[in-house]
């Protein structure tokens, strides 16, 4: 089924079919969930909805303690995979061209934004295009603005971007060969405000796994928001109990003598009791052990489900760890990063295909074998013992088990591998030329002496 058949069957051939598409219940439900996730990350948690109640005849505003663990976890998840820029490997010619495209298009930031949206909301969209200067760029479409359209075989046949700005609605409709922009700016009627050819195809849809819907992803926040809500509820209610129910109540047992009692200017305030009378302050006991047990259990489950190392949340103390011990601590984080890498790589491979097609239209020529050499390497932000890594690299290089290029790529101190390799080769050429010049000078000197 193509988009024309989809419009005819689903929207009865309506020329403004994209308006009805945006209004579909399934799409509105998905967008509403994304907006709710944004509000949650902004700090609007369920605990903030606690109402004011009466206590001792006065209004009492109950505690609402907000824990922003969700934002911290998704930020850790994103930076763990993309703290270091991606490394492109393969044929030197195509890698050099791709590096230029990535640098001009600021793709390091594009990659970070794409993964950030995908982790937070389950879906992220990227549109590759050529700007007015002839440079290849990418546009990241907000998750709440994207409406991909799939046919019965889960193939994207069109894409709609919908947003509001300046009290007007905007619809950007992406087809395989064209892009049309509609707006209600001005008189409020929907009209075409822009149209151009589409040279790169439909936007790329990055998504996570979803057990109930193969077309759209599922946010990682859904796995642990309820745990954070329970932690906030526990902290807030315990704080309320401390202020409301742990206030001591004065109790006098027996008869209190009448009179002024002790002079408060001499020894402070006090009371005078009759013989065999007693006075004490009665209060509820604080069971802090039970509170700590429940809170620590919730924290541990949060760490396990979110696949975050306990050391990253200051939940455990570590010292004098070896490289293997550090790998074991970050094992769950590595597994989670590997899953995100798989999701991200699926979209990046589509992006690379689009970039190669655009470069071929610009005069470059890459055959299929050359393109197949192109690969992407991710660098996890796991703490490492750099001294141990360098010692292992040196030993492998000395026995011939690794090339100089691979050594430079793995080295933790080198950020630009190709530039560093060129500098090393130039340094070797200069040294070689100096040695040859010195050798020739010595030979001439010997001839003169003879």
**Does position 323 have pLDDT exceeding 70, yes or no?**
no
**Does position 314 have pLDDT exceeding 70, yes or no?**
no
**Do 361 and 227 lie in a common domain?**
yes
**Do 238 and 324 lie in a common domain?**
yes
Range with top average pLDDT, 78-87, 302-311, 348-357: 348-357
- Each residue of 253-308: pLDDT tens digit? 766 656 555 555 555 556 666 666 776 766 666 666 777 777 778 877 787 777 77
Question: Is residue 277 included in any domain, yes or no?
Answer: yes
**Does position 445 have pLDDT exceeding 60, yes or no?**
no
**Do 256 and 375 lie in a common domain?**
no
**Do 162 and 234 lie in a common domain?**
no
Mean pLDDT across 99-125: 92
**Does position 63 have pLDDT exceeding 80, yes or no?**
no
Question: Is residue 193 included in any domain, yes or no?
Answer: yes
Question: Is residue 185 included in any domain, yes or no?
Answer: yes
Whether the Cβ atoms of residue 143 and residue 121 lie closer than 8 Å to each other: yes
Percent of the chain scored above 70 by pLDDT?
A: 78
- Each residue of 132-158: pLDDT tens digit? 888 899 999 999 999 999 998 889 999
Instruction: Please give the distance of CA 270 from its chain centroid, rounded to a whole number.
Output: 61
Higher pLDDT, 80 or 428: 80
**Do 37 and 134 lie in a common domain?**
yes
- Residue range of the domain that includes 181: 3-44+123-218
For residue 115, the number of C-alpha atoms closer than 13 Å in the C-beta half-sphere is 30
Domain stops at, among 384, 409, 440: 384
Residue 409: C-alpha distances to residues 86, 89, 194, 377 (Å)? 12, 10, 45, 10
- Each residue of 215-241: pLDDT tens digit? 999 998 998 889 888 888 888 888 777
- Each residue of 155-180: pLDDT tens digit? 999 999 999 988 899 999 999 989 99
- Each residue of 368-378: pLDDT tens digit? 888 888 888 88
Measured CA to CA, the distance from residue 214 to residue 151 in angstroms comes to 12
Question: Is residue 209 included in any domain, yes or no?
Answer: yes
Whether the Cβ atoms of residue 160 and residue 149 lie closer than 8 Å to each other: yes
Measured CA to CA, the distance from residue 411 to residue 72 in angstroms comes to 29
As a whole number, the mean pLDDT across the chain is 81
**Do 308 and 227 lie in a common domain?**
yes
**Do 196 and 337 lie in a common domain?**
no
Identify the band that residue 80 occupies on the pLDDT scale cut at 50, 70 and 90.
confident
Mean pLDDT across 69-96: 86
Range with top average pLDDT, 1-5, 58-62, 116-120, 274-278: 116-120
Range with top average pLDDT, 190-204, 306-320, 414-428: 190-204
Measured CA to CA, the distance from residue 243 to residue 241 in angstroms comes to 6
Question: Is residue 350 included in any domain, yes or no?
Answer: yes
| Per-residue tokens: 190 | 């929907």
Question: Is residue 423 included in any domain, yes or no?
Answer: no
**Do 318 and 231 lie in a common domain?**
yes
**Does position 127 have pLDDT exceeding 90, yes or no?**
yes
Question: Is residue 372 included in any domain, yes or no?
Answer: yes
**Do 68 and 132 lie in a common domain?**
no
Question: Is residue 83 included in any domain, yes or no?
Answer: yes
Specify the pLDDT at position 144.
92
Domain stops at, among 349, 384, 419: 384
Percent of the chain scored above 90 by pLDDT?
A: 27
Higher pLDDT, 309 or 105: 105
Mean pLDDT across 75-86: 88
Total number of domains constituting the chain: 3
**Do 323 and 367 lie in a common domain?**
yes
Long-range CB pairs of 169-178, under 8 A, 24+ apart, other chains included: 171/18, 171/19, 171/22, 173/18, 174/127, 174/198, 174/202, 174/203, 175/3, 175/202, 176/201, 176/202
Domain stops at, among 351, 369, 384: 384
**Does position 37 have pLDDT exceeding 60, yes or no?**
yes
**Do 231 and 294 lie in a common domain?**
yes
**Do 307 and 227 lie in a common domain?**
yes
């Amino acid at each position: 089924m193509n988009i024309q058949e989809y419009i005819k069957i689903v929207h009865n051939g309506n020329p403004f079919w994209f308006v009805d598409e945006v209004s579909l219940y399934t799409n509105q439900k998905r967008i509403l969930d994304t907006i709710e996730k944004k509000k949650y990350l902004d700090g609007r948690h369920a605990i903030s909805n606690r109402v004011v109640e009466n206590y001792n005849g006065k209004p009492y505003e109950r505690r609402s303690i907000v824990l922003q663990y969700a934002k911290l976890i998704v930020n850790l998840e994103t930076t763990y995979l993309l703290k270091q820029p991606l490394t492109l490997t393969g044929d030197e010619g195509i890698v050099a061209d791709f590096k230029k495209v990535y640098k001009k298009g600021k793709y390091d930031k594009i990659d970070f934004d794409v993964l950030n949206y995908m982790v937070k909301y389950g879906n992220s969209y990227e549109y590759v295009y050529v700007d007015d200067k002839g440079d290849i760029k990418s546009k990241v479409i907000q998750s709440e603005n994207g409406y991909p359209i799939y046919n019965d075989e889960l193939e994207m046949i069109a894409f709609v971007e919908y947003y509001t700005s300046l009290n007007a609605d905007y619809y950007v409709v992406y087809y395989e060969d064209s892009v049309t922009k509609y707006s209600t700016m001005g008189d409020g009627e929907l009209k075409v405000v822009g149209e151009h050819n589409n040279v790169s195809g439909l936007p790329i849809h990055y998504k996570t796994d979803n057990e109930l819907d193969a077309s759209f992803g599922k946010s990682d926040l859904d796995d642990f928001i309820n745990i954070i809500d329970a932690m906030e509820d526990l902290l807030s209610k315990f704080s309320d109990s401390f202020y409301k129910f742990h206030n001591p109540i004065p109790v006098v047992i027996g008869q209190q003598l009448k009179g002024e009692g002790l002079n408060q200017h001499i020894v402070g305030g006090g009371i005078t009791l009759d013989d065999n009378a007693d006075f004490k302050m009665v209060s509820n006991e604080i069971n802090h052990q039970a509170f700590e047990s429940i809170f620590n259990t919730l924290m541990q489950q949060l760490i396990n489900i979110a696949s975050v190392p306990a050391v990253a949340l200051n939940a455990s103390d570590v010292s004098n760890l070896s490289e293997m011990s550090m790998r074991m601590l970050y094992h769950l984080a590595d597994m989670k990063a590997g899953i995100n890498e798989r999701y991200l790589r699926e979209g990046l491979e589509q992006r690379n295909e689009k970039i190669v097609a655009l470069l071929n239209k610009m005069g470059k020529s890459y055959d299929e074998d050359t393109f197949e050499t192109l690969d992407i390497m991710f660098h996890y932000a796991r703490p490492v013992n750099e001294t141990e890594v360098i010692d292992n690299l040196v030993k492998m290089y000395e026995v011939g088990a690794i090339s100089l290029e691979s050594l430079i790529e793995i080295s933790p101190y080198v950020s630009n591998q190709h530039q560093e390799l060129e500098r090393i080769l130039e340094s070797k050429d200069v040294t070689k030329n100096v040695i040859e010049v010195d050798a020739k000078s010595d030979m001439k000197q010997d001839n003169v002496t003879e």
